[in-house]
Structure 1
């Protein structure tokens, strides 16, 4: 089927229409004419895969990764020149805001990209593939649960890449037969690499020692590592959330703190606080910070990290935001939140809005749930969306990280 495609949709596919039906075309760039095969037919839309580009866009480039061409599901946009990736992602974010009835000019959305959009991921999870006694590590192929074996990944840091063959060899031992996946986290500026098996506890006691023998230049840890952020030291464990783009994390957090407009006199609530990297930055400019976090592991690490960094004006509250926020006493001047990809429960939005902060700073990794939640904050004229920034934490992929600022209406 021959198709001429239009705008890029959230998810990385370009949009086309056939007899009024929407078709999401993977492997195509806005403005191109392609030959495509229909891969899925549903009542409301079809999905297709471009098989040949008949009229290529000027922004099409040759993907540098051989595994991308082989169908690796880790990246979606390597064939799109990086400046155009930024432009298309900004458009996707703007359309999601429009669909949630949030008026904000696209030219006021700051797009903060990377000078070098490669080798940025400090954490990754790799699946274990066993074939005829040999073991490889890899990623799922697009839209499947079939593992594509790889020995290099251009979006992960080199320390992780160097560890892959060592851990694959360690997994060949029959004692490691229960290990189905491995997560790696690198501490920037060090040789420290944190590793963790899935399912938890599935690695035999000698697993790490075997791997270390084949990658002696790395200091392997299976419990925790230290990570620096803005001159502070944080302990990080495998189950703790960290922003995976170590270079853009500073850009994101600096913008979030700027949106908070702290003078040193404010009382701040940091919802979904995690282990406290952003919390500590907020604490530098606030009277006190209340960190709300549901995970007991993150709370313990967060409290330790606050002690390590002398943040005596931070107190943690363990629990769901919708349960913890209503119990807070006193005025709240600024609310900062960085929820999971699914966004916030509606009850959590109401609980946070009822705190009546003058400013809300919302960090999100999903533009659709961001737009939905901002719309709920703005319901009945409570808040107005005044700032939007797109910080590209995930080059070569369709994922979008954004930070927005809301101001309370009188």
Structure 2
């Protein structure tokens, strides 16, 4: 075999998140963004190590095996890679990937996978970028092109959000196309991002326009027109955020309320949450109810228990747990999220929650009570190696680990097992239909 060789074969399995495996004459070929059962013509692009290659898809030889994608941007946008699979097959695909990652962890009760209540229009938040699709092209507003750092395609009609998102996107783009977008290469320009949040409970929308400080512009008239748009929901707040960071990320330096208010009200399992533009909140509201109900259902008894909710965000899990537990402590590194958690606890008349601002790695040492149960819902990279040992040292009777990245979960579970914890139950919950992402819940018990 050599580079540029063209071969035909079938994808036998797909490693998380999207690495297809093809075996031809005992030579392993990795082909990204492929599905089990696809028959492909591929071109060898790079030799990785002895007997292993990377390949590039030239042609799908059995397209009739899969359904047509529902979104016209499929293949251009890198977001929804599983649209060609019927939803039941998507669930099987994700469940199989998690099973492969956890297969060396011994026996546990396998609770399978729980589907999302909605396959489409489930997201309550989107972050769109300003840019252009090609060099010197007209301004665009949408998502990054697949595997492109700078190219942006206008996403008018994204299938995983409500139509209101597309109407607002179209309006903002047509109204501001006279202004320069922020060029990530030269760090010049003005328009950076458009953030839209929608309440599943009320249908209300919060719109946040993020710009640099390189131009001065009055958005008062724009906000007035925005509130008159023909949409199903109601725009109750329009914000203008300044961000001059050089990184391709929203780091707010100032936030101005141009119109209305700076938060939405959302309902989750009987509780009320006020959510700001930058608050962490699960992007699939109905799916979050399924996730938390499933997770807390693994715990036999919360009554009179002390619970630590580490990586607590805006305190959604903590407050749901607090309706049954004696005392809950939440730790979160983002101060704005902790402030919202405290506000929401007051709103829900919950007085047995204490929320602390800081790094889990540092703050766990200062908690005076010993927990009966620890809830972990860390970011995608999982738990810091030093923090995980401090968590283990509490010797909580049960640990409930909710993970949004199964590779991180698999790594962390090995450490818990080595330190006397037993994996009792594992359940997958699909919060992100059409995409590679999956939530995995694991219940561990102290075996010492």
**TM-score, length basis structure 2:** 0.84
Counterpart residue number, 1:167: 172
1:338 to 1:19, Cα distance in 2 relative to 1, 3 A: same
Counterpart residue number, 2:185: none
What is the root-mean-square deviation in Å for CA atoms of aligned residues? 2.4
Shift of residue 203, structure 1, vs aligned partner? 8.5
The answer to whether residue 140 in structure 2 is matched with residue 136 in structure 1 is yes
1:170 to 1:104, Cα distance in 2 relative to 1, 3 A: farther
The answer to whether residue 446 in structure 2 is matched with residue 408 in structure 1 is yes
Cα pair 1:227 1:233 within 8 Å, conserved: yes
The answer to whether residue 113 in structure 2 is matched with residue 111 in structure 1 is yes
Shift of residue 298, structure 1, vs aligned partner? 0.9
Shift of residue 228, structure 1, vs aligned partner? 1.6
Counterpart residue number, 2:15: 9
The answer to whether residue 380 in structure 2 is matched with residue 365 in structure 1 is no
Q: State the distance in 1 between where 2:269 and 2:101 align.
A: 32
Q: State the distance in 2 between where 1:317 and 1:283 align.
A: 15
Shift of residue 115, structure 1, vs aligned partner? 5.0
Cα pair 2:331 2:360 within 8 Å, conserved: yes
Counterpart residue number, 2:267: 228
Cα pair 2:141 2:169 within 8 Å, conserved: yes
Q: State the distance in 2 between where 1:53 and 1:193 align.
A: 41
The answer to whether residue 235 in structure 2 is matched with residue 219 in structure 1 is yes
Cα pair 2:381 2:405 within 8 Å, conserved: yes
**TM-score, length basis structure 1:** 0.91
**One of 360, 365, 379 as aligned partner of 1:340:** 379
Q: State the distance in 1 between where 2:58 and 2:336 align.
A: 47
1:388 to 1:199, Cα distance in 2 relative to 1, 3 A: farther
Cα pair 1:137 1:164 within 8 Å, conserved: yes
Counterpart residue number, 1:393: 431
Shift of residue 55, structure 1, vs aligned partner? 3.8
Counterpart residue number, 1:127: 129
Shift of residue 232, structure 1, vs aligned partner? 1.8
Cα pair 2:190 2:212 within 8 Å, conserved: no
Shift of residue 288, structure 1, vs aligned partner? 0.5
Secondary structure of the 1:66 match is: coil
1:200 to 1:220, Cα distance in 2 relative to 1, 3 A: farther
Cα pair 1:125 1:182 within 8 Å, conserved: yes
Secondary structure of the 2:428 match is: strand
Q: State the distance in 2 between where 1:373 and 1:401 align.
A: 15
Shift of residue 318, structure 1, vs aligned partner? 1.6
Shift of residue 6, structure 1, vs aligned partner? 0.6
Q: How does 1:246-285 map to 2 (within 5 A)?
A: 246-285=285-324
Cα pair 1:63 1:79 within 8 Å, conserved: yes
**Count of residues paired in the alignment:** 404
- Write 1 or 2 for the structure with the bigger share of helix: 1
Shift of residue 183, structure 1, vs aligned partner? 1.9
**One of 152, 157, 164 as aligned partner of 2:162:** 157
Cα pair 2:375 2:400 within 8 Å, conserved: yes
Secondary structure of the 2:285 match is: coil
The answer to whether residue 219 in structure 2 is matched with residue 207 in structure 1 is yes
Cα pair 1:9 1:92 within 8 Å, conserved: yes
Gap runs ≥5 in structure 2: 1-6, 182-188, 240-261
Which string of whole-angstrom CA distances, capped at 9 and with x for unpartnered residues, describes residues 349-375 of structure 1? 111111111110011110000111111
Q: State the distance in 1 between where 2:207 and 2:222 align.
A: 13
Shift of residue 66, structure 1, vs aligned partner? 1.1
Shift of residue 109, structure 1, vs aligned partner? 3.5
Cα pair 1:166 1:215 within 8 Å, conserved: no
Cα pair 2:191 2:211 within 8 Å, conserved: yes
1:55 to 1:225, Cα distance in 2 relative to 1, 3 A: closer
Which string of whole-angstrom CA distances, capped at 9 and with x for unpartnered residues, describes residues 314-338 of structure 1? 0012211111112212321000011
1:199 to 1:18, Cα distance in 2 relative to 1, 3 A: farther
